Amino acid sequence: MARTKIYYLAEAIRDHGIGPVVTVIEQKGISGWDRFGRHLPIDDAKICDVLDILAESHQVETVFELEATLESDGFPPPSPIEFRTDDFDRNDPLWHFGWIDELRPAFPVEATLRKQAEERKAMKQRDEWIL
């Protein structure tokens, strides 16, 4: 039996940022695993749970960014969300939800481009700090 490829919530956050991911979940929903290991669309109550997880993650990220800015020596450390989205962790709820890869929704392009620009700026700052 072929294994279904999943585009995990953590991967979507890493690729697009929390805001665009929340928009897609609100508009198109998200899937998760049931107690039998099936990957199915989740109901509205569970979507609220996912959105609560993302709101908490966003709040932690916002506080981290503020503190990192205040304490910055020009080389920002990896953020908490980066640690959570870089490597698979079966205990992290960000890896419990997602979309079947073939059915991956389109994410808002403008927000994704803005996130990529921010990442390029951060990489440039890191490179300048190293040099």
Looking at residue 64, its pLDDT comes to: 63
Answer yes or no: is pLDDT of 95 > 70. yes
Looking at residue 68, its pLDDT comes to: 61
E strand or H helix that includes residue 25: helix 18-28
Structure tokens at 20: 């665009």
Mean pLDDT check: name the lowest of 37-51, 61-75, 110-124.
Answer: 61-75
CA dihedral 111, 115, 116, 122 (to 10 degrees): 160
CA atoms of 30 and 116, how far apart (whole Å): 23
In percent, the amount of the chain with pLDDT more than 90 equals 14
**pLDDT mean over 65-70:** 61
Residue labelled with tokens 């697009």: 16
Looking at residue 16, its pLDDT comes to: 86
Q: Which of 116, 84, 126 is nearest to 20 (CA)?
A: 116
Selected residue with higher pLDDT from 121 and 45? 45
**Cβ atoms within 10 Å of 44's Cβ, excluding its own:** 7
Strand partners, 8: 98
Task: Report which DSSP code applies to 94.
Answer: G
Looking at residue 98, its pLDDT comes to: 92
Structure tokens at 108: 């808002």
Q: Is the pTM of this model over 0.85?
A: no
